[in-house]
Amino acid sequence: MKVLIVDDIGYSCHYYARLVEKIGFAAITASSGYEAIKLLQTDNEIHVVLTDLIMSGMDGVDLFQQAQQLERYSDSGAVAHPQFILMTAVRPVKNPQDKNFQRIKLANELGFSKIMFKPLDQNELKQELNDMSLNVIHSTEGETVLDLYSPTQKVRQSVREIVEADNKEAASEFLKILLEEIANLKKYLKTS
């Protein structure tokens, strides 16, 4: 699995690239969101983007939004969007007027796989990347990549929201849908 590290501070970019390599994954770097977009357009082997929040020109959230608009293809067809981890040294206060708080909140809503605070905990990053690598599955027919991590995170987020809202009707309906999809997967596995 290849990880793209994006940070406009050179030594930080270098440090996190070495850390990712030490954990056991390939790493490439970009010093801006614009450079990252160019790499994402040309390198279909990038499965994870580890990006800083605050960067000049295009911040990490803007990068995520632009990356979601990219259409990436290999010889075998469409390539899945990479998973994103947002990193930041800013510890925003829970103030609705605080710009950084708003950007981190937006990142969470948009579907970043993880938000981590600098300095990154090496063990937490290792666990996160290992989990992500398990969810990047290459089909036997070619280079098609399925991203199972993002949908799993969305399911977990939905469950948290239902529980926090204490909505038993929504919980029952959500469980019904999940059980139907589990039954579909079981049927598929029996026929293959």
Residue 176 lies in a domain: no
Detail the DSSP E strand segments found in 89-180: 114-117, 136-138, 145-147
**Is the confidence at residue 75, as pLDDT, over 90?**
no
Report the mean per-residue pLDDT for the chain.
84
For the record, the structure tokens of 60 come out as: 């990490």
Do you know the residue count of the chain?
192
Give the residue carrying structure tokens 């399925």. Answer: 146
Residue 92 lies in a domain: yes
Supply the CATH number for residue 78's domain.
3.40.50.2300
Residue 153 lies in a domain: no
Residue 172 lies in a domain: no
Number of domains in the chain: 1
Residue 113 lies in a domain: yes
pLDDT of residue 95: 64
Residue 170 lies in a domain: no
**Is the confidence at residue 74, as pLDDT, over 70?**
yes
pLDDT tens, residue by residue, 86-104: 999 887 666 667 787 888 8
CA dihedral 95, 102, 59, 5 (to 10 degrees): 90
pLDDT of residue 63: 96
pLDDT of residue 147: 57
For residues 96-122, give the mean pLDDT. 85
Q: Answer yes or no: are the C-beta atoms of 135 and 149 closer than 8 Å.
A: yes
Residue 192 lies in a domain: no
Which structural domain, as residue segments, surrounds residue 84? 2-147
Q: Which of 91, 85, 109 is nearest to 27 (CA)?
A: 85
Of residues 154 and 14, more confidence is placed in 14
| Distance in angstroms (rounded) separating the CA atoms of residues 1 and 177 | 32
Query: Phi then psi for 7, rounded to 5 degrees?
Result: -160, 135
Residue 52 lies in a domain: yes
Strand partners, 168: none
For the purposes of burial, counting CB atoms within 10 Å of the CB of 2, is it exposed (0-12), middle (13-18) or buried (19 or more)? Answer: middle
pLDDT tens, residue by residue, 7-29: 999 999 999 999 999 998 999 99
pLDDT tens, residue by residue, 39-51: 999 998 899 999 9
Q: Which range has the worst mean pLDDT, 98-102, 151-155, 161-165?
A: 151-155
